[in-house]
Structure formats: structure tokens, C-alpha cells
């Protein structure tokens, strides 16, 4: 029996910002929270976590989206819009919980 190979993708369901940590967690079979902690530690101590996260959000395709070879610019704009929208929603959630 042939098994389908695992594919790395950004998660649509297990996401906080762009789904990178959720996708990595699903791919490697680990808890996405652990992946988020690693990115947070990398950001705090070396500053590389944020840069790596943004790069992965641009490079890794979104779950369930068929790739028809979009340009890097189009993927970058799409990922940037997703991050911006998620960040706004997160900020609104935090603000509403403070009140």
C-alpha cells in the first residue's frame, strides 16, 4: 500500500496569526504550542524568530489551497495581508479583554 507523503502547509484550523506554528506542529507530530514557545524564545533572545516566522509564512503554502505557481510577490502580499488581519484581530481581542 502506498501512503501519501506528508506535506508541509500553514494550518487553517490551528492558527494564531498565519498558521505557521500549527502547520509545523501537524507536520512534525508535536504540539503547536511548543512550536510557538520556540519561536517566542528565538524572538526574545536572538531576534530571529520573527524574521523566520515571516519568511515561513511567505514560503509555506496555506492548507487546502492548490498552488498554481503564484509569483513570490503575490504570495508575499497575501501572507502580509493575512498577518496584518490576524494581528488586528488579536489586538482587538486583547483590548476587549482589558476593558
In degrees and rounded to multiples of 5, residue 95 shows phi and psi of: -65, -40
Range 8-27 average pLDDT? 85
What pLDDT, in 10s, does the model give residues 78-95? 777 888 888 888 888 878
* Assigned C-alpha cell, 94: 486583547
The residue behind cell 492548507 is 63
pTM: 0.61
Is pLDDT above 80 for 67?
no
Amino acid at each position: 500500500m502506498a501512503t501519501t507523503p506528508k506535506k508541509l502547509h500553514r494550518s487553517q484550523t490551528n492558527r494564531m496569526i498565519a498558521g505557521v506554528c500549527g502547520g509545523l506542529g501537524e507536520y512534525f507530530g508535536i504540539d503547536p504550542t511548543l512550536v510557538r514557545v520556540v519561536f517566542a524564545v528565538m524572538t526574545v533572545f536572538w531576534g530571529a524568530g520573527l524574521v523566520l516566522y515571516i519568511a515561513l509564512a511567505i514560503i509555506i503554502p496555506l492548507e487546502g489551497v492548490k498552488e498554481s505557481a503564484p509569483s513570490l510577490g503575490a504570495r508575499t502580499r497575501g501572507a502580509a495581508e493575512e498577518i496584518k488581519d490576524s494581528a488586528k484581530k488579536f489586538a482587538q481581542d486583547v483590548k476587549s479583554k482589558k476593558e
